[in-house]
């Protein structure tokens, strides 16, 4: 398998501050990464698709100015929660496709360990 590392695993911040979460593919290049949000006992909700060197594609209802996504290299994507509020508290998970380039996606998806954000 492939390894996707997510950091930090846990973060607590005050309301109004910004928090950055990193997602790295350690042993493969990922042109596409995905960011998810998960509420307790619920499945994953896709927030945005991050493509290296271009702007992220956000899902309907996700505020792009609040959840800033940057995919500056083939191994790193970052999610910044700006002006965080208690309702932003959640479990955020990233994933990366191994072997995906263009056209149909036949690659396998690998996930990071997730980041638990708590906004006080």
Partner 1 sequence: KQEVTQIPAALSVPEGENLVLNCSFTDSAIYNLQWFRQDPGKGLTSLLLIQSSQREQTSGRLNASLDKSSGRSTLYIAASQPGDSATYLCAVVPEGFQKLVFGTGTRLLVSP
Q: Are strands 115-119 and 10-13 parallel, antiparallel or unpaired?
A: parallel
For residue 120, give both structure tokens. 């006080």
User: Which one of 3, 12, 26, 46 is in contact with partner 1 (CB under 8 A)?
Assistant: 46
User: Which one of 56, 93, 117, 119 is in contact with partner 1 (CB under 8 A)?
Assistant: 93
For residue 14, give both structure tokens. 């005050």
User: Which one of 6, 75, 77, 90 is in contact with partner 1 (CB under 8 A)?
Assistant: 6
74 class by beta-carbon count within 10 Å (0-12 exposed, 13-18 middle, 19+ buried):
middle
Does residue number 28 form part of the binding site for partner 1 (CB under 8 A)? no
Render 15-50 in DSSP notation, one character per residue: TT--EEEEEEESSS--SEEEEEEE-TTS-EEEEEEE
Does residue number 99 form part of the binding site for partner 1 (CB under 8 A)? no
Tell me whether residue 5 or residue 82 sits nearer to partner 1 (CB atom). 5
Within 51-80, the residues that bind partner 1 by CB under 8 A are: none
What CA–CA distance (Å, rounded) separates 98 from 117? 27
Tell me whether residue 79 or residue 97 sits nearer to partner 1 (CB atom). 97
Instruction: Give residues in contact with partner 1 (CB under 8 A).
Output: 1, 4, 6, 32, 34, 43-44, 46, 49, 91, 93, 95, 97, 100, 104-106, 108-114, 116
């Amino acid at each position: 398998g492939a390894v996707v590392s997510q950091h930090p695993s846990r973060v607590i911040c005050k309301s109004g501050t910004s928090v950055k979460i990193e997602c790295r593919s350690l042993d493969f290049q990922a042109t596409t990464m995905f960011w998810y949000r998960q509420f307790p006992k619920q499945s994953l909700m896709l927030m945005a698709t991050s493509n290296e060197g271009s702007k992220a594609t956000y899902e309907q209802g996700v505020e792009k100015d609040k959840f800033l996504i940057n995919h500056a290299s083939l191994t790193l994507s970052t999610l910044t929660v700006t002006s965080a509020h208690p309702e932003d508290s959640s479990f955020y998970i990233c994933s990366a496709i191994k072997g995906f380039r263009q056209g149909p996606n036949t690659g396998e998806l690998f996930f990071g360990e997730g980041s638990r954000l708590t906004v006080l």
